[in-house]
Each structure stands twice: as structure tokens, then as C-alpha cells.
């Protein structure tokens, strides 16, 4: 029984919808079954419709005595027999190899079937390219706010630190390490916060791109506005959970004042953080597209990720690497400009005094804003498409998406779906 709430509730394969349960039962035949012949490609029926219109295989039999056999199909239109390879360009030559199913319908940026890695990445890039006004408008605002917070943290905690060529006392060295760690922690959690917000805000855009529909900035804001309180609640829960995942393993060492015990808890905290992030990474699109509560979105994400944790983790990690490398390429020219514009130049970068310069920090922040504006939507698009892919695999969401896209005659060609 399918219990998915809210947006585009599909029929579950276990309900008999979207599977062989809605086909007529095969009638027994006295003659041996013959292989079904595809309909004439020139008859006007689409590739995704003819297979659903065929009678069951058990109804195919030889004509009875006295009946006129059907006219012969011209040789150029006959289906290839067993052991023969269809000629290139033949109507029986399907993508993915001879004898495979017809291609899935593709009203938007992805085909309506379980997705591969390349299709997920291509769909995320296609959404950014085809809906760039809505995507870049949202990501620019979030990226600017994140960089502003990071800039203030850098100025507050790094501006008064001693430079590297000064003799540091043990207490000063600990202070330098602690403040630097705080800045990196702020940067990391601001990144998580930005990813959650952009994923939630752009989920309606990605869903419309999947259906092949246009989106506007005003339409996106109109769709998001009623869910803003729940979106902020979900963001706060995910941020607190990510902080707790890192702090809890180190808390015994901190309370006991043991540096060794604290150091041993750090890798455990990173493992818990990775588990937490992947388990609940689908919560933002679940909240925006199913319109439930923040807690329901977290539960929904955990349910969809269950059994596919490593696959979702691998795709998310690969996307993060691609995004990070692309952002570094974008930021490098701004870092070079900031280096030359800083009062101390290269020496200031080496001894750490450049972090005290507003010129260096502002130019670097501008580069960070541009890099995040362009690359963050790719990661958030992948997350939303992973959510859709999991529902296609488990709940036959492709049938509901096809109906939403106006493809009333669409029927899936797959009778069995890979689990997770």
C-alpha cells in the first residue's frame, strides 16, 4: 500500500497500478503461442503506446481452418527473426541494444524511468540552462547571505590573531588553532545551510523542468511562500542535527578536559555527520513537493534513502567534487586579484596578515558569491532529481508525472523496477 502524501501521489506497484495487474488475463489457447509482432511503424502509434495495446501472448494462435490468413507484411517492414540483427535505422532497432524496450517518454529534462548517474547530472545542468533566471536569482541571494556571514566571521576571529613570523606562546598557538577551526566550521555549516535553502527553494523549478514546463521568479516565490515557515523549521532542524552529529562524540573529551579523547571523537563525529546528511538529504524536496511538515519531510527522506544509502552518498559526493572543482576555477581569478590588491601582497598571504585586510576579504567574497551562484544549483538539482528517481523506482511516479505532463496515453514499458 502506497502511503506517500501530498504532491503527485502515484500508484504503488503493490496496488496493481502501473504493472501487469491492469492488463486482461490471458486466455488459454490450443495452439502454441507465437511471438507478438510490433505494429506497423507508419500507422501513427507512438513508440511508448503500441506495447500496452497488445493482447496477452497466450491469445496469439494460428488461424483456424477455413479462415483467410492476414496479408503478408512487406519484407522491408517485417520484424527480424531470431538470430538476425536488424539493419541500422530499422524501426526495431531501439536505443540500448536490439530487442530492448522503446525509449521512455521525456517531456522535460529527464526520461520518465529510473535514472542513471549521467541522466541525473544532465538533468541538473539542463534545469540550470533552461531555467537560469529563476535558478540564478534564488542562488545569488542565498550565496550573498552566506558569504556575508563568512566574511563577518573571518573579520571577527582572524583579524586580531598574531602573524606567522611572531613567536607564539602555547596559549596563543591554541587560540590561533581554535579560531581557525571556528572559521572553517562556520564556513562548512553555512554551506550546509545554503544547500538546504536552495534545494527547497528550487525544488518547484526542478519539478516543472521535469514536466517540460516553464518557470518564472514570481511563480517560484508564489509556490514557496506558503511553505516558508515549514522550510525555515526544516533548515533549523537539519542545521542543529548536523552540529549535534559532530559535537556529541567529542563532548566526553571536552567535559573531561582530555585532548586525546576529544581527538578520538572527531572522526566519529565526521562519520555521524555523513550518515546524517545522506539520510536526510531528500527532506527539502520532500517538504516542498509533498507539502507536509518538517518532521514528516525528515521521515520521508529516511524512508526513501533506506536501502539506497551508498548509491545516494556516492552520487552526492561525486556532485560535490565536480561542484567544488568548478567553483575553484571560478574563484581563482578573484583570489589572484585580491592578492595583488591587498596591502601586503604575497607576503601578507604567507604570514596571514592578508586576513586583516578588508580589500582581500571583500574581493575574495565576491568571487565566492559568483562561484556559489553558478555551482550550488547543480548540487541542489541533483538532490531533487534523486528524490524523483527514488519515487520512480519505488512508487511508479513516472506514470503520475506523465499524466501531469499531459501524456494521457503513456504507459511504462517496465514491468519490474529495480529496488532502491
d(CA 38, CA 45): 11
The CA angle 11-212-390, to the nearest 5 degrees, is: 40
d(CA 45, CA 176): 71
Of 138, 101, 14, 123, the C-alpha closest to 387 is 123
d(CA 179, CA 156): 9
DSSP string computed for 305-341: HTT-HHHHHHHHHHHHHHHHHHHHHHHHHHHHHHHHH
Total number of residues shown for the chain:
420
Contact present, 305 and 276 (Cβ < 8 Å): no
CA dihedral sign, ordered 93, 97, 99, 101 = negative
Contact present, 275 and 281 (Cβ < 8 Å): no
Q: What is the pLDDT of residue 355?
A: 65
Q: What is the pLDDT of residue 156?
A: 78
pTM for the whole structure = 0.72
Q: What is the pLDDT of residue 367?
A: 93
Q: Compute φ and ψ for 204, nearest 5 degrees.
A: -65, -35
Q: How many other β-carbons are positioned within 10 Å of the β-carbon of residue 36?
A: 14
- Domain range summary for the chain, segments of one domain joined by +: 119-404
Place of cell 556516492: 314
pLDDT in tens, the chain (420 residues): 444 344 444 333 333 343 343 434 444 444 444 444 444 444 444 444 334 444 444 334 444 455 555 454 444 444 444 444 444 444 444 444 454 556 778 899 999 999 999 999 999 999 999 999 999 999 999 999 999 998 888 887 766 665 555 566 667 666 677 777 788 888 889 998 999 999 999 999 999 999 999 988 898 889 899 999 999 999 999 999 999 999 999 888 888 888 888 889 989 999 999 999 999 999 999 999 999 999 999 999 999 999 999 999 999 999 999 999 999 999 999 988 887 877 766 666 665 666 677 888 888 899 999 999 999 999 999 999 999 999 999 998 988 898 888 876 665 444 344 444
Q: What is the pLDDT of residue 187?
A: 86
Contact present, 355 and 156 (Cβ < 8 Å): no
163 conformational bin, left if phi > 0, alpha if psi -120 to 50, beta if neither: beta
Place of cell 501524456: 407
- CB under 8 Å to 232, separation ≥6 — which residues? none
Of 66, 114, 147, 115, the C-alpha closest to 331 is 147
Q: What is the pLDDT of residue 344?
A: 67
How far from chain centre, in Å, is Cα 222?
23
Element counts in the chain: helices (H) and strands (E): 12, 0
Contact present, 383 and 280 (Cβ < 8 Å): no
Per-residue CA distances from 74 to 77, 80, 221 (Å):
5, 12, 57
Amino acid at each position: 500500500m502506497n502511503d506517500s502524501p501530498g504532491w503527485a501521489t502515484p500508484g504503488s506497484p503493490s496496488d496493481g497500478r502501473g504493472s501487469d495487474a491492469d492488463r486482461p488475463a490471458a486466455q488459454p489457447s490450443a495452439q502454441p503461442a507465437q511471438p507478438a509482432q510490433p505494429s506497423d511503424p507508419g500507422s501513427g502509434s507512438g513508440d511508448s503506446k503500441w506495447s500496452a495495446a497488445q493482447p496477452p501472448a497466450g491469445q496469439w494462435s494460428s488461424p483456424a481452418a477455413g479462415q483467410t490468413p492476414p496479408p503478408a507484411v512487406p519484407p522491408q517492414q517485417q520484424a527480424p527473426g531470431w538470430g538476425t540483427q536488424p539493419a541500422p535505422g530499422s524501426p526495431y532497432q531501439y536505443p540500448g541494444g536490439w530487442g530492448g524496450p522503446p525509449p521512455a517518454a521525456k517531456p522535460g529534462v529527464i526520461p520518465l524511468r529510473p535514472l542513471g548517474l549521467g541522466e541525473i547530472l544532465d538533468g541538473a545542468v539542463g534545469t540550470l540552462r533552461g531555467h537560469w533566471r529563476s535558478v540564478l536569482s534564488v542562488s545569488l541571494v542565498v550565496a550573498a547571505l552566506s558569504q556575508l556571514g563568512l566574511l563577518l566571521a573571518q573579520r571577527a576571529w582572524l583579524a586580531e590573531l598574531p602573524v606567522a613570523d611572531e613567536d607564539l606562546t602555547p596559549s596563543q598557538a591554541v587560540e590561533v588553532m581554535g579560531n581557525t577551526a571556528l572559521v572553517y566550521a562556520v564556513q562548512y555549516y553555512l554551506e550546509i545551510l545554503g544547500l538546504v535553502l536552495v534545494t527547497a527553494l528550487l525544488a518547484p523549478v526542478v519539478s516543472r523542468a521535469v514536466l517540460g514546463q516553464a518557470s518564472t521568479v514570481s511563480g517560484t516565490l508564489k509556490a514557496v511562500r506558503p511553505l516558508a515557515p515549514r522550510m525555515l523549521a526544516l533548515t533549523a532542524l537539519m542545521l542543529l542535527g548536523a552540529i549535534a552529529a559532530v559535537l556529541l562524540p567529542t563532548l566526553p573529551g571536552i567535559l573531561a578536559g582530555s585532548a586525546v579523547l576529544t581527538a578520538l571523537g572527531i572522526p566519529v563525529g565526521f562519520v555521524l555527520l555523513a550518515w546524517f546528511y545522506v539520510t536526510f538529504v531528500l527532506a527539502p524536496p520532500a517538504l516542498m513537493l509533498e507539502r507536509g511538515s518538517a518532521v514528516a519531510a525528515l521521515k520521508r527522506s529516511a524512508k526513501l534513502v533506506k536501502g539506497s544509502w551508498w548509491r545516494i552518498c556516492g552520487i552526492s559526493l561525486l556532485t560535490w567534487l565536480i561542484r567544488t572543482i568548478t567553483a575553484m576555477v571560478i574563484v581563482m581569478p578573484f583570489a589572484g586579484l585580491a592578492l595583488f590588491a591587498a596591502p601586503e601582497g604575497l607576503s601578507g598571504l604567507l604570514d596571514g596578515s592578508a586576513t586583516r585586510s578588508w580589500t582581500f576579504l571583500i574581493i575574495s567574497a565576491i568571487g565566492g558569491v559568483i562561484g556559489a551562484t553558478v555551482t550550488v544549483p547543480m548540487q541542489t538539482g541533483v538532490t531533487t532529481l534523486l528524490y524523483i528517481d527514488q519515487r520512480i523506482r519505488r512508487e511508479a511516479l513516472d506514470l503520475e508525472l506523465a499524466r501531469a505532463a499531459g501524456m494521457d496515453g503513456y504507459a511504462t514499458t517496465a514491468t519490474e523496477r529495480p529496488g532502491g
